[in-house]
Amino acid sequence: MKYALYFIIGGTVVSLTTYLGSLGKSWLAAFVTTFPALTGLTFILMYLNAGVEPTVPYARNLLYFVIPWLAYVGFYLLTIDRFGFGLALTGAIALFVAVAALSKLVV
């Protein structure tokens, strides 16, 4: 039951972001997507299920994805006009995975 609730919460964020984006409210859509509601909720749920201990490594590991996320968004912005939506998004996701994997190997 609790996993169904997690799914509904995540789906609500995606739906709200898509709705706001389709109205041309890109700043609000980006705000909803990056608002720390999901990570905050994850902190709370991890704490309720297992205590404080697992929340610290989770928070630390979130920091490892800042640079891959910046590479992902930056690549998309730089290539969308040149390559089109599909290739830009595919390349951006591939770059995210590659940079995340490299950061895991380095650290």
Write out pLDDT tens, residues 19-48.
Answer: 999 999 999 999 988 888 888 988 999 999
- Mean pLDDT, the chain, rounded, equals 93
Q: How far apart are CA 8 and CA 27, in angstroms?
A: 23
Structural domain range at position 16:
1-60
Q: Are residues 2 and 38 in the same domain?
A: yes
* pLDDT at residue 52 is higher than 80: yes
| pLDDT value of position 9 | 84
49/76 same-domain check: no
> Domain boundary at 60, 78, 98, which?
60
- State yes or no: pLDDT of 1 exceeds 90: no
pLDDT value of position 10:
84
Residues 56 and 68 in one domain: no
Query: Residues 74, 56: one domain?
Result: no
- The contacts of residue 92 (CB under 8 Å, 6+ apart) are 72, 73, 75, 76, 79
- The answer on pLDDT for 7 being more than 90 is no
9-14-15 Cα angle (round to 5): 95
